[in-house]
Amino acid sequence: AATDAEKAIEYRQGVFNTIKWNFGPMAGMVKGKIDFDAAEFARRADAVAALATMPGEGFIEGSGVGDTGAKPAIWENKEKFDEGMDALAKNAAALAVAAKSGDMDIIKPAFGQLGKTCKGCHDDFREKD
């Protein structure tokens, strides 16, 4: 049977993979590599806003071992990590609001802010692929 740590790892990776599934097409639209579809963009932004509140609880104590990209820094500096998770949720919510405008000039900076938030935490807390 899976341990609690294994279940937590599977849980949070599932959430991050689902965020990435939705984030990718939004990035393509922002960069002009995919035609902008405002309704699709808003649907994906809503999905990411909901998902963004979820991965944090998967970083339970003792779940940093094994074949994951999670750095020990997460548990050594949990307060800063949790702030990053809060920023993820906040900026994803802001993007969902911006997306409802259907206006790329409004969406673009909100998307950029969210992408910076992803990268900030990855730099500190995630091993490079």
Nearer to ligand ASC, 9 or 118 (CB): 118
Q: Is 121 annotated as a binding residue?
A: yes
Residue from 59, 53, 54 nearest 9 by CA: 59
**Least CB distance to ligand ASC at residue 82 (A):** 19
Q: How far is the CB of 70 from ligand ASC (least distance, A)?
A: 14
* Least distance in angstroms from the C-beta of 73 to ligand ASC: 17
Q: Least CB distance from residue 112 to ligand ASC, whole Å? A: 9
The residue whose Cβ lies closest to ligand ASC is 119
Give the residue among 55, 53, 65 at the shortest CA–CA distance from 5.
65
Residues near ligand ASC (CB under 6 A): 20, 23-24, 27, 115, 118-119, 122
Q: What residues form DSSP beta bridges with 8?
A: none
DSSP code at position 71 = -
Encoding tokens for residue 106?
């409004």
Q: For the chain, where are the E strands, in sequence order? A: none
Give me 113's structure tokens: 């802010």
Ligand-binding annotation for 122, yes or no, is yes
| C-alpha to C-alpha distances, 59 to 20, 65, 90, nearest whole angstrom | 18, 11, 19
Query: Nearer to ligand ASC by C-beta: 28 or 72?
Result: 28
Q: Is 82 annotated as a binding residue?
A: no
Binding-site residue ranges for heme c: 118, 121-122
